[in-house]
Amino acid sequence: MGATLAALAGINNISGPGMLDFESCLSLEKLVVDNEICGMVLRMVAGIEPREDFPALPRFEELLKDQHLLISRHTRRYLRKEHYFPGAAIDRANRSRWQEEGSCSLRERAHGEVQRLLAEYEPSRLPEETKAELTRRMEHEARRWGMEGLPHERL
């Protein structure tokens, strides 16, 4: 709801995705789910854009009579732009299909998506000296705030 209210107010940058315990820690699974929520919110605030080629009532009646509204050329042309298609973490199947497919919880699906993303990750192509400089700056800030090192160094 916070993302929805922020987006409706015109705010286009919020903190919180992936964060737990009042931003004290981060969950990659929650980040995956929050990313889906943000995608849905962004689609919602985009609104409905009028199309000059939008079919008039007679066209709808013809498509409905022939029972092919969803496969009409007009629908296929705009479907990907107008409809938000969530990622693998969001399951919109009915209950019986969900059960047939293993009854995976949202957390399990999000964890699977995290694993997929990590497996497909390709390191940045930044020059090594740029990466080293960024690391030095982050380490400096970590020490300034009482940390012994960066979190990944303590694993």
Q: What is the distance between the alpha carbons of residues 62 and 69, in angstroms, rounded to a whole number? A: 9
Q: Residue 33: what pLDDT?
A: 95
Tens digit of pLDDT for each residue in 108-122? Answer: 999 999 999 999 999
Q: Which residues pair with 25 in a beta bridge?
A: 20
- What is the reported pTM? 0.67
Burial class from Cβ neighbours inside 10 Å (0-12, 13-18, 19+) for residue 87 reads middle
Residues 80 and 88 sit within 8 Å (Cβ to Cβ) = no
* CA distances for 60 relative to 9, 47, 57, 83, angstroms: 35, 22, 5, 19
Mean pLDDT of the chain: 86
Contacts of 69 (CB under 8 A, 6+ apart): 60, 63, 75
DSSP 131: H
* pLDDT tens digit sequence for 89-145: 999 889 999 999 999 999 999 999 999 999 999 988 999 999 999 999 999 999 998
